[in-house]
Amino acid sequence: MNESTTYDLEKKAADERRRLHSSVAELRSCFNDTIDVRKNTRAHLGLVCGIAAVLGLTMGYSFTGIFVPDTERKVRWPY
């Protein structure tokens, strides 16, 4: 190969590496913004609090129902 062709190929390879590194850096920063837990929690705080409240009430009511006997329940075969 002659000198100018080698130089052009090296220049193209360097440009391609630079573009690849910049696109990877951009993708990485976009991905980090997407999965940031604190940022997403702040953005959807009302929804998170509502889900936590409903889940807590449901679990508390279910857990209490296990240990508190129901005296008015008429079952055929009491255990």
What is the C-alpha separation between 7 and 11, in angstroms, rounded?
6
CA gyration radius for the chain? 31
Cβ-contact 39, 33 below 8 angstroms: yes
Closest CA to 27 of 37, 39, 35: 35
> For 11-61, what is each residue's pLDDT tens digit?
999 999 999 999 999 999 888 888 888 888 888 899 989 999 999 999 998
State the pTM of this model: 0.46
